[in-house]
Amino acid sequence: MPSQRALTFNPGTFLKKIGKCSTSRGYRNKELIFAQGEAADAMFYVEAGNVKLTVLSKHGKKAVIAIFRQGDFFGEGCLGAPSLRMSTATAVRPSTIVRVEKIAIISIIHDDPLFARLFIAHLISRVTRTEEDLLDQLLNSSEKRLARTLLLLAGFGTQSKPHPAALKVSQGTLAEMVGTTRSRVSFFMNRFRKMGLIDYNGSLHVHWAVLNFFLHK
Amino acid sequence: MPSQRALTFNPGTFLKKIGKCSTSRGYRNKELIFAQGEAADAMFYVEAGNVKLTVLSKHGKKAVIAIFRQGDFFGEGCLGAPSLRMSTATAVRPSTIVRVEKIAIISIIHDDPLFARLFIAHLISRVTRTEEDLLDQLLNSSEKRLARTLLLLAGFGTQSKPHPAALKVSQGTLAEMVGTTRSRVSFFMNRFRKMGLIDYNGSLHVHWAVLNFFLHK
DNA sequence: GGGAAACGGTGCAATATTGAACAGAAAACG
DNA sequence: CGTTTTCTGTTCAATATTGCACCGTTTCCC
Helix (H) or strand (E) holding B20, with range, is: none
What pLDDT does A2 receive? 46
Percent of chain A with pLDDT over 70: 92
pLDDT band at A15 (very low <50, low <70, confident <90, very high): confident
Domains in chain B (CATH in brackets) are 11-138 (2.60.120.10), 140-216 (1.10.10.10)
Q: What is the pTM of this model?
A: 0.93
Whether B101 has a pLDDT exceeding 70, the answer reads yes
Whether B63 has a pLDDT exceeding 80, the answer reads yes
* Nucleotides of strand C under 7 angstroms from a protein beta carbon: 6-12, 16-21, 26-27, 29
DSSP for A69-89 reads -TT-EE-GGGGSSS-B-SSEE
pLDDT band at A3 (very low <50, low <70, confident <90, very high): very low
Amino acid sitting at position B15: L
Neighbours of B49 (CB within 10 A): 18
Lowest-confidence pick of A42-51, A127-136, A162-171: A162-171
What pLDDT does A191 receive? 96
B201 or A3, greater pLDDT: B201
Whether B159 has a pLDDT exceeding 60, the answer reads no
Whether B1 has a pLDDT exceeding 60, the answer reads no
Residue pLDDT, tens place only, B124-143:
999 999 999 999 999 999 99
Q: Average the pLDDT over A9-18 and give the result.
A: 74
Whether A46 has a pLDDT exceeding 80, the answer reads yes
What pLDDT does A34 receive? 97
B127 touches chain A (CB under 8 A): yes
Q: Which residue is nearest to nucleotide C9 (CA to C1')?
A: A186
Mean pLDDT (chain B) is: 90
What pLDDT does B135 receive? 98
DSSP for A149-216 reads HHHHHTTTTSSS----S-----HHHHHHHHTS-HHHHHHHHHHHHHTTSEEEESEEEE-HHHHHHHHH
What pLDDT does B131 receive? 98
**Can you tell me whether residue A17 is helix, strand or coil?**
helix
Residue B46 Cα, gap to closest chain A Cα (Å)? 20
Nearest to B109 among A116, A137, A179 (CB): A116
What pLDDT does B3 receive? 45
Residues ≥6 apart with Cβ < 8 Å to A178: A142, A145, A146, A149, A185
pLDDT band at B189 (very low <50, low <70, confident <90, very high): very high
How long is the CA B182 to C1' C28 vector, in angstroms? 21
DSSP for B78-127 reads GGSSS-B-SSEEEESSSEEEEEEEHHHHHHHHHH-HHHHHHHHHHHHHHH
- Bridge partners of A111, per DSSP, are none
A129 or B156, greater pLDDT: A129
- Bridge partners of A39, per DSSP, are A84
CA dist A17 to A107, B116, B117, B190, Å? 11, 18, 17, 58
Lowest-confidence pick of A153-162, B28-37, B127-136, B180-189: A153-162
Which chain A residue is nearest to residue B116, measuring alpha carbons? A116
Interface of A with B in 183-202 (CB under 8 A): none
Percent of chain B with pLDDT over 70: 93
Whether B66 has a pLDDT exceeding 90, the answer reads yes
Lowest-confidence pick of A129-143, A148-162, A170-184, B86-100: A148-162
**Can you tell me whether residue A61 is helix, strand or coil?**
coil
> Measured between alpha carbons, how far is A39 from A56 in angstroms, rounded to an integer?
17
Which chain B residue is nearest to residue A78, measuring alpha carbons? B124
Estimate to the nearest angstrom the gap between the alpha carbon of B152 and the chain centroid.
10
Interface of B with A in 8-67 (CB under 8 A): 8, 55, 57-59, 61, 63, 65
How long is the CA B165 to C1' C7 vector, in angstroms? 50
